[in-house]
Amino acid sequence: MKQPKLAAALSCFIWGGGQLYNRQRSKAAFFFIFQAFLIGVELVSGNYFTGSFQFREAGFFVKGIWGMVTLGTETAILTDQGLTPGDHSVILLIQGIIAILILGIFVSIWVMNIKDAYYTAKEINEGNGTIISSKKWLLKTWEHSFEYIVMIPAGLMLMMFVLMPIIFAFLVAFTNYNNSNLPPSNLVNWVGLSNFKFLFSMGGTEALGGDIWLHTFQHVFLWTILFAIVSTAVPFFLGLFQAVILNNKRVVGKKVWRSILILPWAMPAIISQLNFQQLFNGQFGPINRFLIDKGWIETPIYWLSDPHNPWLPRFTILVIGFWLGFPYFMALMSGIMTSISKDVYEAAEIDGANERQQFWQITLPLVLVATAPLLVMSFAHNFNNFGLIYFLTEGGPINPNFIHAGQTDILISWIFKLTLDHRLYNMASVMSIIIFLIIGSLSAWNFTRTRAFKEEM
Amino acid sequence: MATTTKSLGMQGAGKRKIDTSQNTKSKIKEFFITFAIYAELIIVSIIVLFPILWIVGSSFNPGSSLASSSMFPENPTLKHYRTLLTETNYIRWYANTFKIAIIHMTLSICLSTSMGYVFGRFKFKGKKVALLSVLVVQMFPSFMAMTALYVLFLTFNLLDNHWALILCYAAGQIPMNTWLIKGYLSSIPKELDESAMLDGASKIQIFTKIIFPLIKPIVSFVAVTTFMTPWMDFIFPRLIISTNENLTLAVGLFDMISGETQNNYTMFAAGAVLVAVPITIAYVGLQKYLIEGITAGASKG
C-alpha cells in the first residue's frame, strides 16, 4: 500500500521524491533535474560562501526578488578608487521581473510534481499495486495534454519577449525613474500613483508644469484620434473606390493595373516614408522645385515644417498616409469582390437590377460586412503609427506651448521623445498605460464580437 | 424555377433589341464610362508611380544632394551603387538582414502553424482567455519595453547579436499569425482530421500530412509578412546592435540621410532601390497568396 499524502509530502521537499517512493525512477529523475537546476543556478550565480550574507550578493532569484522590492539601497559613490558599484535600480527591477517569471515556471512544475506524486500513489492503490512505467506515463501525458505541450515554446517566448517588457513598462509608471533621478548615481523608488496625479493635477503650479502636461496631453490626444480616424477611413473608402474601378468588367489587363496599384503596399514603408520626407522637403524638395519652375508658386511651401500653420504639415502627413494605406484595402476588397459568387449578379441582372443597383445592393454590403472588423485593427495600427510621423516630421514643427511635443506628434511619437530624448521614463509609462486602456479595451471589445471568437463558446 | 428565370431573361434581351435609339445613347454612355475608368486608373497609377520613379531616378544622379537630383538625370551613373557596394558595409547589412529574415520566417512558421493548429482544432481550459490576452497585451505601446529587452539581453549576453532580434520578432509575430491560421483552419472541415484519427494517425501526423498542405496559402502569407519585418524595423536594431558590421539595412539607410552628413540622398536612393526591388517583386509575384491571406483573415474575422 502506498500513502498518497506521504508521496506528496516527499515531492514537496525533494522534487521527484514521491515519484521515487512510487517506484517511477525516470519520472523522479525528470522532476529532480528541475530542482537541481534551480538550486544550482541560485548557488552558482550568488556569492553564498563568504561568511557574511548580503542580499546584493545573493543568487539570481533571491537577489531578483530583493531588488524588485527595494529597487536597491546603495547608490554609486565617487571615491578615491573610482565609482563604487552601487545598486542600479532599473537593472534590479528588470532582473527581478525576469527572476519572478522564471520562478513562476518552476513553481508550476513543483505543483505538478506534488500532484503527480499524490495521484499516482492513489492510482497504484486502486490498481492493487501495479506500477505505471514512466514511459507509459510519458505517452499518456503527450496524448492528454498535447495542446499545452505544443504551446510551451511559443508561450515561453511570449512571456520573455512580450510580457516581461510590458510588465516593466507598466511598473515604471509607479516609480520616479526620470532624468532628474537616473541610476546608477541615484536610486529609483516606488512612488505609488503620484505620476498619474501629476498628469491630471489641473491645479499644479506653473513651476511644476502640472498644467502644461495636461494641456499637451489633451492636444496630442485629440490630434491622435483625428489622425487615426482619418487615416483609417479615407484609405478604406479610397481602397473601396479603387477596387470597384479595378473590378469593373470594362477594364482590360486587370493584373497589370493591380500590380501597379499595390506598389505602395509592397514597398517597405520606411523607404517610402523617408522618400516622401525628401520629396516634400521645404527647401530643396523636388515638389517645390517643380511648382516654382512652373510658376505656380513663388516661395517654397514648407509642406512638413511650416511653423505658422500646423495644419499644413498635418494635412501633408494625412495625404501621404492615404498613398501608403489605400492599396491594402484595395487588395483586400478586390479579393472579396472576386470571391462573391457570379450567380448572385446574374440573378440580380435577371431581376432587372442595373449596375448601380447591383453595386449598392450586393457588392457594397457584402464587402462592408467582411471588412468592418478590420477597421478597428487598422484604427489601432494607425493610433500607434510611429513611422509615418517620425520619419516624415519627427513630430515637428515645434510648439512652444507643449512639453516635449511638436505640432504633428501623436501619442506614440510623443512617448518616443519622452523616453529616448528626454528620459522622462515615468511619464512616458503613464502615457503608455492610458493609451493601452483605450486601444486595448477597444480591440478586446471588437474581438469578442467577431464570429471567430464567438465560435469558441 | 430555372426555366422561368431563363424565359424572363430572354424577354429582357428582346426588349433591348427593339429600342435602337436607346441603344446608341447607351453606346455613348458606355464609351464615356470606359474613358473615365481608364483616365482614373492612369491618374492614380501616375500618383503611385511618381515617388517610386523619383527615387529610382535619383539613384542614378551624379550628384549627392537632394537639391541637384532629378527624376531623369542627364548623365546617369552607377557611381552610387558602386560606392555603396565597395565603400560602405551595405553588403554586410544586406546579408545580415537576409539572414535574420530567413531564420525569423522559418521560426515564425513553425511557431504560428503549431499554435494555430492547437487553437483551431482543440478545446482546452483557458483557450478563450489566452486567445484574447495574447492579442490585446501586445498592443501595449511602449518604448520602455525596449529598455527591458535591452537589460534582458544584457543579462543573457545577447547584445549586438542577431538572435536577440530574431527572438523578439518571432515572439511579437506569434499572436497575429496564430489568429490568422486559426481563422483559416476553421474553413477546413474537421471531418478530415477525424477520419484520419480513426485510421490511427497521430496528432503530429494529422498536422504534417493533412493540415499543413491544406493551409499552405495562409502559410505563404505568413511567410511573406514575417520575411518583411526585419527589412522595415528601425528602432529595435538601432538599440540592440552597436557595431556597424552587424547593422540591418533599415538602420544603415536611415543614417545615410539623417546622420551628420545629411546630403547623401542619392546614395540612400540607391540603397533603397536595392532593398525595394526584390521585396516588391516578391509582393507583386505573390499577390495572389497575399490577397487570399488577408481575405481569409477578414471573412473569418
pLDDT digit string, tens, across residues A120-169? 888 888 877 677 777 888 888 888 888 888 899 999 999 999 899 999 99
Contact A161 B149 (CB under 8 A): yes
Whether residue B263 is predicted with pLDDT greater than 70 in this model: the reply is: no
A264-277: pLDDT as tens digits: 988 888 888 888 98
* Contact flag A416-B155 (C-beta cutoff 8 Å): no
Nearest to A8 by CA among A107, A133, A112: A112
Q: Which residue of A has its CA nearest to B8?
A: A350
Q: Say yes or no for a CB contact (<8 Å) between B136 and A444.
A: yes
CB atoms within 10 A of CB A407: 23
Q: What is the pLDDT of residue B42?
A: 94
Domain boundaries, chain A: 4-172, 210-454
Neighbours of A248 (CB within 10 A): 16
Look-up of cell digits 434581351: B13
Cell 422561368, residue located: B4
Phi, psi of A202 (to 5 degrees): -60, -35
User: Hey, which of A34-43, A190-199, B125-134, B262-271 has the most confident mean pLDDT?
Assistant: A34-43
Instruction: Report the pLDDT averaged over residues A328-335.
Output: 86
Q: Where are the domains of chain B?
A: 91-299
| Residue burial A378-401, b: 16+ Cβ < 10 Å; e: rest | bbbbbbbbbbbbbbbbbbbbebee
Cβ neighbours of A175 in B, within 8 Å: none
Grid coordinates representing A436 are 493601452
Q: Mean pLDDT across the stretch B35-47?
A: 93
Chain B residue closest in CA terms to A454 = B128
Which of B38, B140, B292 should one mutate to test binding to chain A, selecting the residue with the greatest count of A CBs within 10 A?
B140
- At residue A368, the 3 state secondary structure works out as helix
Residue with the three cell numbers 519572478: A100
pLDDT tier at B7, thresholds 50, 70, 90: very low
Per-residue pLDDT at B18:
52
Q: Chain A partners of B167 at a C-beta cutoff of 8 Å?
A: 157, 161
> How many Å apart are CA B206 and CA B122, to the nearest integer?
13
Instruction: Tell me: pLDDT of B86 over 80.
Output: yes
| C-alpha distance from B207 to closest chain A C-alpha (Å) | 12
Sequence-distant (≥ 6) Cβ neighbours of residue A238 within 8 angstroms: A322, A325, A326, A329, A330
Residue A114 in this model has a pLDDT that exceeds 70: yes
Rounded CA-CA distance B178/B218 in Å is 11
Question: Cα separation of A46 and A64, whole Å?
Answer: 11
8 Å CB contact of B257 and A274:
yes
Which range (A303-312, A323-332, B40-49) has the least confidence?
A303-312
Quick one: what percent of chain A has pLDDT higher than 90?
22
Cell of A12: 514537496
What A282-287 contacts at long range (C-beta under 8 Å, 24+ apart), as own/partner pairs, is A282/A306, A283/B67, A284/B65, A284/B66, A284/B67, A285/B66, A286/B54, A286/B66, A286/B69, A286/B70, A286/B71
Q: What mean pLDDT, rounded, does chain B reach?
A: 81
Q: Which residues of A fall within a CB distance of 8 Å from B234?
A: 270, 387
* B14 has pLDDT over 60: no
Q: Using a CB-CB distance cutoff of 8 angstroms, which residues of chain A are in contact with residue B137?
A: 162-163, 166, 440
Residue B3 pLDDT grade (very low, low, confident, very high; cuts 50, 70, 90): very low
Which grid cell sits at A153?
515554446
∠ at Cα B223 (B268, A454), nearest 5°? 125
The count of CB pairs under 8 A between chains A and B is: 275
Q: Which residue has the cell 467582411?
A: A370
Q: Does domain B91-299 have CATH number 1.10.3720.10?
A: yes
Q: Amino acid identity, residue B159?
A: L
Q: Which candidate, B194, B218, B217, places its Cα nearest to that of B206?
A: B194
Within 10 A of A431 (CB to CB), how many other CB atoms are there? 25
DSSP single-letter state for residue B71: S
Q: Is the dihedral of CA B262, B266, B269, B271 positive or negative?
A: negative
Instruction: Pick the closest to residue A224 from A424, A407, A419 (CA basis).
Output: A407
CA distances from A302 to A223, A390, A398, B177 (A): 20, 17, 14, 41
Q: Tell me, what's the pLDDT at A98?
A: 92
Residue A106's Cβ-count burial label (10 Å; 0-12, 13-18, 19+) is middle
Measured in angstroms, the CA of B260 and the nearest CA of chain A are apart by 16
Q: What grid cell was written down for B66?
A: 537632394
Chain mean pLDDT for chain A: 85
Q: Which of A242, A262, A274 sits opposite B284 (nearest CB)?
A: A262
Of the ranges A75-84, A315-324, B61-70, B250-259, which is most confident?
Answer: A315-324
Q: Pairing between strand A78-79 and A82-83?
A: antiparallel
Distance (Å) of CA A77 to CA A63, A180, A181, A213, B165: 21, 17, 15, 34, 35
Choosing among A179, A275, A340, which should be mutated to test the B contact, i.e. which has the most B CBs within 10 A?
A275
Q: Which of B183, B151, B192 is nearest to A377 (CA)?
A: B183
Whether residue A274 and residue B9 make contact (CB cut-off 8 A), yes or no, is: no
**CA–CA gap between residue A36 and residue A188 (Å, rounded):** 34
Q: For Cα atoms B208, B211, B212, give the angle at the middle one, nearest 5 degrees.
A: 60
CA distance A415 to A410: 9
How much is the pLDDT for B45?
A: 94
Chain B residue numbers touching A276 (CB-CB < 8 A): 51
Between A162, A264, A281, which is nearest B48 by CB? A264
Dig out the grid coordinates for A16 from the structure: 521527484
**A374: Cα separation from own chain's centroid:** 18
Rounded distance, CA B182 to CA B122, Å?
11
Q: Report the predicted TM-score, pTM, of the whole model to 2 decimal places.
A: 0.81
Peptide bond into A184 cis (omega under 30): yes
Query: pLDDT value at position A108?
Result: 93
Domain A210-454 sits in CATH 1.10.287.3610: no
| pLDDT tens digits, one per residue of B119-156 | 888 888 888 888 888 778 877 877 778 888 888 898 88
Q: What are A416's three cell numbers? A: 518616443
What is the length of chain B? 301
User: What contacts A253, CB < 8 A, 6 or more positions away?
Assistant: none
Residue B94 has pLDDT above 60, yes or no: yes
Q: What confidence score (pLDDT) does residue B55 get?
A: 85
Which amino acid, residue A352? G
Contact A95 B155 (CB under 8 A): yes
User: How near does any CA of chain B get to the CA of A344, in Å?
Assistant: 13
What φ, ψ does residue A270 adopt, rounded to 5°? -65, -35
Q: Which residues from chain A sit within 8 angstroms of residue B207, using beta carbons? A: none
From chain A, pick out residues whose CB is under 8 angstroms from the CB of B188: none
Amino acid identity, residue A420? Answer: L
Angle CA(B170)–CA(B174)–CA(B179) in degrees, nearest 5? 155
- Asked if pLDDT for residue B38 goes beyond 80, the answer is yes
Q: Do the Cβ atoms of A432 and B141 come within 8 Å? A: yes
Q: How far apart are CA A390 and CA B143, in angstroms?
A: 14
Question: A396 near A317, Cβ under 8 Å?
Answer: no
Rounded to an integer, what distance in angstroms lies between the CA atom of residue B149 and that of residue B167? 11
What count of other Cβ atoms lies within 10 Å of the Cβ of residue A443? Answer: 18
Three-class SS of B1-22: CHHHHHHHHHHHHHHHHHCHHH
Q: Are B293 and B221 in contact (CB under 8 A)?
A: yes
User: Which stretch of A69-73, A312-316, A334-338, A373-377 has the lowest confidence by average pLDDT?
Assistant: A373-377
If one counts every other C-beta atom within 10 angstroms of the C-beta of residue A260, the result is: 17
